[in-house]
Chains A and B, each alone.
Chain A
Amino acid sequence: MKPVIETRELCRFYGAGDTLVKALDDVNIRIDPGEFTAIVGPSGSGKSTLLQQIGGLDIPNHGKVLLKDKPISEMSGKELSDFRRDHIGFIFQAYNLIPVLSAAENCEYIMLLQGIPAAERRERVLSMLAQVGLEGREDRLPGQLSGGQQQRVAVARAMVSQPDIILADEPTANLDSQTGMELLDMMHDLNRNEGMTFVFSTHDPKIMERASRLIYVEDGKVIREETRNG
């Protein structure tokens, strides 16, 4: 099976000399389609940096990231923007919806960039919002939704453009434990039902339990991998 994401000798350093910080040091991982993978580790271990590299948001000092066999570090800015738009979905810790757009418009945003016709956009948005349990709240602005509901919109936004992989950086960190678990269950359901590949970072043991695969990161290095029955 071809991996969705593969990193080879991935290194990301900050600073120089005595202040050199090795945020990622020779990381080699492979994510296959349909995985529900958690990158785990304490704060400052390099989880977010790894997700940034996988998502093409940052350039490595050494090594490469291959998304469907394409080295993303060799792409131009415009190619990379288009690649992220079409192949990667992002879910952020602080929801990060566009505050002036409604829930439906936030989901529609990426499809607008993709040039998908209006009717199809509307149909997919309504269906996706229904799947994440936000039927009837399509026209609400982010400020009119609870934290959990906003993160559901963020999940819907990440999925509606049908990317190859969804990257989520501590998606439950800003939610209470019950809402966090509900969101994770929802993501898991979408993974099982839609076959969507999820990679998320966390340091919450309860959330780790739901993952089908765990990649342990410490001091910028992958120290262990563990596969479970999701």
Chain B
Amino acid sequence: MGLTWKLALRNILRNKRRTTLTLLLISMTLAILIFTDGYMRAMSDVMVRSATRLYPGDGQIHHVDYLAERDGEKVISDVDGHLQRLQSTEQIASYSPRAMDFAMVSSSANNLAVQLVGIDPQLEAGVSKLESSLVQGEYLSSQGRSQQIMIGRPLAELLEVDLGDRLVVSVNNYEIDSVDQRLFRVSGIFQLNSKFYDEALIFVPLASAQEMMGIGSNVHEIAFNFVDESLSSDESLALWSELSGPQTIAEGWTTLMPDLATMIGLMDYSMLIVATILFVVAILGVINAMFMSIYERTYEFGVVLAIGTRRSSLFVLIMAEGLMLALISLVLGSILGAIAVEITGAVGIDYGNMDISGVALAEVLRPEITIGQFTELPFSVFVMTMVASLYPALHAARIVPAQALHKSL
């Protein structure tokens, strides 16, 4: 071992309490960063999954003007063609055509404005959580009675209806340009744990909705999910244009739910703020600890400079001490961070369907480990420690031997 390394190692072992505290400061910074990153990623994934897989899907296809105008006549006419394309695309896991429009639902107790959605029950089960969120009654059946209707529990309470009760749904029929009114019987009550979906959506078989709306076999929306959900946020994917037709457009959740996309972006920003605060605190801590160590050794530095040590060698020595602290801290911090992520990942953090900006966190949050947490983050902490060592090292290298030794030589 070279003299510099030998001296650096022995110097950092001189004041074990201070070295331990400094190591803990740096390693805890890294551990907190690793945990925060794992937590933020999990939070972001759960939020996106909760938002997309609850009902809307990873992506949707609409008539190019539908979302802007919400006009029921702006339909997808080549439904079969679109469905075939989706079926033959390997990256697509599931899809569901939907006919939808604003409607009025009436019970003997109340009248409410809602959105009527006609679905293919089997296909819808592959896209949304509608089937699994059923709390009473039965899920819609393709072969069942055309009078079946599913509503959310809060809506059922507002309408004061229960299973088997009658509801009258009024919706615009575009074929005859008049209102179509039909009687349904509540066949199922769901609870998606989203205030909007549970109070505003009512589901009937696709054919019933198409007939009421007078749109033939056309639909307003085709929702779909990817096999790899991470693809859904990739706006540069060629698939979006491949799934679009001459009059239709396929879009992912980042376009369909810009508020959510902004919020996810803000979470990345939050991570940056957390990292910056931690870095500033840790840098000040490391500078303070190293300065304490240097002030204690000012006389000693005066001696080694007097006997012929070059200033550059003293600078290198302090940087070597910083390097050793950094390397030990990186190992310690990575282990602590991995343990924290692993434990919380295994136990999970349950927010109990807490609603964040309209998105119910429907899953238990499980922080996850990524390669970046053990490459990029330790590298950042390493750079931070070396930067923090720079100032004390420069200070040590500028010590004037005569001043340092003023008590003696």
Q: Which A positions have Cβ atoms within 8 angstroms of B?
A: 48, 51-52, 55, 57-58, 77-78, 81-82, 84-86, 88-90, 92-94, 96, 98-101, 109-110, 112-113, 157-158, 167, 169-170
Q: State which of B162-170, B176-184, B300-308 sits at the interface with chain A.
A: B300-308
Within the complex, the shortest CB–CB distance from A218 to chain B, in Å, comes to 20
Given contacts A81-B310, A100-B10, A112-B3, contact A94 B304 (CB under 8 A): no
Q: Is B70 an interface position by the 8 A CB rule?
A: no
* Assembled-state Cα–Cα distance A198/B63 (Å): 99
Would you give 13 A-B contacts (Cβ < 8 Å), ordered by A? A52-B402, A57-B306, A58-B402, A81-B308, A84-B306, A84-B307, A93-B408, A93-B409, A99-B300, A101-B7, A110-B307, A158-B307, A169-B409
Which of A57, A78, A109, A112 makes the CB contact (< 8 A) with B409? A57
Q: A93-B409, A96-B408 are in contact. List 8 more A-B contacts (CB 8 A).
A: A55-B409, A77-B311, A78-B310, A82-B310, A90-B306, A94-B408, A98-B304, A109-B304
Asked if A81 and B409 sit within 8 Å, CB to CB, the answer is: no
Cβ proximity bits B304-340 to A, threshold 8 Å, 1 near / 0 not: 1111111111000000000000000000000000000
Q: Is B395 an interface position by the 8 A CB rule?
A: no
Asked if B14 and A99 sit within 8 Å, CB to CB, the answer is: yes
Q: Which B positions have Cβ atoms within 8 angstroms of A?
A: 3, 7, 10-11, 13-14, 299-300, 303-313, 400-402, 405, 407-409
Within the complex, the shortest CB–CB distance from A43 to chain B, in Å, comes to 12
Within the complex, the shortest CB–CB distance from B332 to chain A, in Å, comes to 23
Asked if B7 and A57 sit within 8 Å, CB to CB, the answer is: no
Which of A77, A96, A109 makes the CB contact (< 8 A) with B299? A96
* Assembled-state Cα–Cα distance A101/B10 (Å): 8
The interface residues of chain B lying within 8 Å CB-to-CB of A158 are 307
The interface residues of chain A lying within 8 Å CB-to-CB of B3 are 109, 112
Given contacts A51-B409, A52-B409, contact A57 B402 (CB under 8 A): yes
The interface residues of chain B lying within 8 Å CB-to-CB of A88 are 308
Asked if A92 and B409 sit within 8 Å, CB to CB, the answer is: yes
* Assembled-state Cα–Cα distance A90/B304 (Å): 10
* Assembled-state Cα–Cα distance A105/B322 (Å): 23
| 4 closest cross-chain pairs (CB), A and B | A85-B308, A100-B10, A58-B402, A93-B408
The interface residues of chain B lying within 8 Å CB-to-CB of A100 are 7, 10-11, 13-14
The interface residues of chain A lying within 8 Å CB-to-CB of B299 are 94, 96
The interface residues of chain B lying within 8 Å CB-to-CB of A92 are 303, 405, 408-409
Identify the interface centre among B400, B407, B408: most chain A CB within 10 Å of its CB. Answer: B408
Asked if A57 and B309 sit within 8 Å, CB to CB, the answer is: no
In the complex formed, the residue of A with least CB distance to B310 is A81
In the complex formed, the residue of B with least CB distance to A91 is B409
Within the complex, the shortest CB–CB distance from A114 to chain B, in Å, comes to 8
The interface residues of chain A lying within 8 Å CB-to-CB of B307 are 84-85, 89-90, 109-110, 157-158
Given contacts A81-B310, A85-B308, contact A90 B14 (CB under 8 A): no
* Assembled-state Cα–Cα distance A16/B308 (Å): 31
Asked if A113 and B308 sit within 8 Å, CB to CB, the answer is: yes
The interface residues of chain A lying within 8 Å CB-to-CB of B407 are 93-94
* Assembled-state Cα–Cα distance A166/B10 (Å): 29
The interface residues of chain B lying within 8 Å CB-to-CB of A89 are 307
* Assembled-state Cα–Cα distance A25/B311 (Å): 30
* Assembled-state Cα–Cα distance A88/B13 (Å): 31
The interface residues of chain B lying within 8 Å CB-to-CB of A109 are 3, 304, 307
Identify the interface centre among A52, A82, A88: most chain B CB within 10 Å of its CB. Answer: A52
* Assembled-state Cα–Cα distance A99/B409 (Å): 19
Given contacts A48-B408, A167-B409, contact A113 B309 (CB under 8 A): yes
The interface residues of chain A lying within 8 Å CB-to-CB of B306 are 55, 57, 84, 90
Which of A57, A101, A157 makes the CB contact (< 8 A) with B401? A57
In the complex formed, the residue of A with least CB distance to B4 is A112
The interface residues of chain B lying within 8 Å CB-to-CB of A58 are 400-402
Within the complex, the shortest CB–CB distance from A170 to chain B, in Å, comes to 7
The interface residues of chain B lying within 8 Å CB-to-CB of A170 are 408
Within the complex, the shortest CB–CB distance from B43 to chain A, in Å, comes to 47
* Assembled-state Cα–Cα distance A73/B14 (Å): 36
In the complex formed, the residue of B with least CB distance to A105 is B6
Within the complex, the shortest CB–CB distance from B403 to chain A, in Å, comes to 9
Which of B10, B11, B408 makes the CB contact (< 8 A) with A169? B408
* Assembled-state Cα–Cα distance A170/B405 (Å): 13
The interface residues of chain A lying within 8 Å CB-to-CB of B310 are 78, 81-82, 113
The interface residues of chain B lying within 8 Å CB-to-CB of A169 are 408-409
* Assembled-state Cα–Cα distance A93/B302 (Å): 13
Which of A94, A101, A110 makes the CB contact (< 8 A) with B308? A110
The interface residues of chain B lying within 8 Å CB-to-CB of A86 are 308
The interface residues of chain B lying within 8 Å CB-to-CB of A77 are 311
Within the complex, the shortest CB–CB distance from A176 to chain B, in Å, comes to 18
Given contacts A52-B402, A98-B7, A109-B3, contact A84 B308 (CB under 8 A): yes
The interface residues of chain A lying within 8 Å CB-to-CB of B303 are 90, 92, 96, 98
* Assembled-state Cα–Cα distance A167/B405 (Å): 14
The interface residues of chain B lying within 8 Å CB-to-CB of A110 are 307-308
Asked if A82 and B409 sit within 8 Å, CB to CB, the answer is: no
* Assembled-state Cα–Cα distance A55/B302 (Å): 13
Asked if A81 and B309 sit within 8 Å, CB to CB, the answer is: yes
* Assembled-state Cα–Cα distance A89/B308 (Å): 9
Which of A51, A55, A98, A167 makes the CB contact (< 8 A) with B300? A98
* Assembled-state Cα–Cα distance A16/B309 (Å): 32
Within the complex, the shortest CB–CB distance from B18 to chain A, in Å, comes to 15
The interface residues of chain A lying within 8 Å CB-to-CB of B7 are 98, 100-101
